[in-house]
Amino acid sequence: MKQRILSGIQPSGALHLGNYIGAIRQWKDLQDSSDAFFCIVDYHAITVPQDPQDLYDNIHQLAAMYVAIGLDPNKVTLFKQSDVSAHTELAWILNCFSHMGELERMTQYKDKKAKHKQRSTVGLFTYPVLMAADILLYQPHLVPVGEDQKQHVELTRNIAERFNQRYGETFRIPDVLHPKQGARIMSLDDPTKKMSKSATTERGYISLIDPPDVVMKKVKRAVTDSGDEVKAVADKPALTNLLTIYTAVTAKSIGEIEQLYVGQGYGRFKKELAEAIIEFLRPIQEKYNELIDHPAELQKILEAGKEKASTVAQITLDDVKTKLGVI
């Protein structure tokens, strides 16, 4: 039996290199050896205010990006969370098995709540419970995500164990899977912050649809550490981050890359890193632009995904409802 995997990303704008290196790269590597489900978590996106047209566009752009990056819709199930109503049904049920205290401890909630202050919603608070439902419905062995999602997967395991203890084996307890390198890609303008669209300025991240001149500019302006040695060491967090990106977009190991730049200083290193990123992004952007021009094809992929995901999710939901005594 192939291992089941499930992961998801919010449709909240173009993906950046952190998303690719921390999450999607592993998805791609796993698609042949596993039975994979990848979700566009649109109901998570509405935990903060969204413009309807932007959200609609972002959903389709994310679907196009999933395929452009190399996920093969014939091998994996690509679907939209709101298309499978079992997610919100199970989320309600799991709300009744989640404790206020454990949700209050979620760091992503604390950060987002601080940002939205009095307008922080209940949806933002129970966001991790919807994520637990996303995961548990599919009975996955592994959940490949970046490091910032580890706490949410741990919460998912706790909720699942609680339910299993009370009602007997119902959910598989999934393991989180982080990449060996790059589980936390840092911002280009501040290596103490993670690369993110919201936390830093545009200079801090490289979007997967940034044109070559923008990539070149952002890499050249990236913060470096004192000295001039290109080395991934603890007291060189900026260089370590740039080397992690370099190794992810090429077939070279960090050791090999360090060797290439002995005695060369940062200038050539940054220029060639930018070129490597541009080369890496070129085929992705070509495929992406082609798909964006064919919305009917994307629609077909999402329709097929909806069918497959609904069938699998319903089995778990029916089991849960039977155990609860509601069917």
Binding interface with ligand TRP (CB under 6 A): 6-10, 41, 44, 131, 134-135, 143, 145, 149, 152
- Select the span of 13-21, 61-69, 120-128, 243-251 touching ligand AMP (CB under 6 A): 13-21
d(CA 196, CA 207): 10
**CB contact burial 130-140 (16+ within 10 A = b; e otherwise):** bbbbbbbbbbb
CB 62 within 8 A of CB 42: no
CB of 245 to ligand TRP, least distance (A): 19
Whether 113 sits among the annotated catalytic residues: the reply is no
> Shortest gap between Cβ of 134 and ligand AMP (angstroms)?
12
Burial classification of residue 107, based on how many CB atoms lie within 10 Å of its CB (0-12 exposed, 13-18 middle, 19 or more buried): exposed
Q: What's the closest the beta carbon of residue 149 comes to ligand TRP, in angstroms?
A: 5
Active site residue 194: yes
Q: Catalytic site residue 180?
A: no
- Residue 195 interacts with ligand AMP (CB under 6 A)? yes
Q: Which does 133 bind (CB under 5 to 8 A by kind): ligand TRP, ligand AMP, none?
A: none
Candidates 28, 197, 252, 323; catalytic one: 197
For ligand AMP, give the closer residue by CB, 150 or 162: 150
Q: Which residues contact 148 (CB under 8 A, 6 or more apart)?
A: 108, 184, 194
Q: By rule CB under 6 A, what string of x and - marks binding of each residue 112-151 to ligand AMP?
A: ---------------------------------xx-xx--
Minimum distance, C-beta of residue 6 to ligand TRP, in the bound complex (Å): 6
- How many Cα atoms occupy the beta-carbon half-sphere of 27 within 13 Å? 29
Is 249 a binding residue for ligand AMP by CB under 6 A? The answer is: no
Q: Does 19 bind ligand AMP (CB under 6 A)?
A: yes
Out of 112, 218, 236, 270, pick the active-site residue.
Answer: 112
Please name the amino acid found at residue 90: L
Q: Is 247 in the site for ligand AMP (CB under 6 A)?
A: no
40 near ligand AMP, judged by CB under 6 A: no
Binding partner of 229, given ligand TRP, ligand AMP, none, CB within 5-8 angstroms per partner class: none
Of 151 and 224, nearer to ligand TRP (C-beta) is: 151
Report, in Å, the least distance between residue 135 CB and ligand AMP: 12
Q: Which of 6, 11, 22, 163 binds ligand AMP (CB under 6 A)?
A: 22
Residue with CB nearest ligand TRP? 8
Q: Which does 281 bind (CB under 5 to 8 A by kind): ligand AMP, ligand TRP, none?
A: none
Interface with ligand AMP, residue 81, by CB under 6 A: no
Catalytic machinery residues: 112, 194, 197
> Which positions touch ligand AMP (CB under 6 A)?
9-10, 18-19, 21-23, 145-146, 148-149, 183-185, 194-196
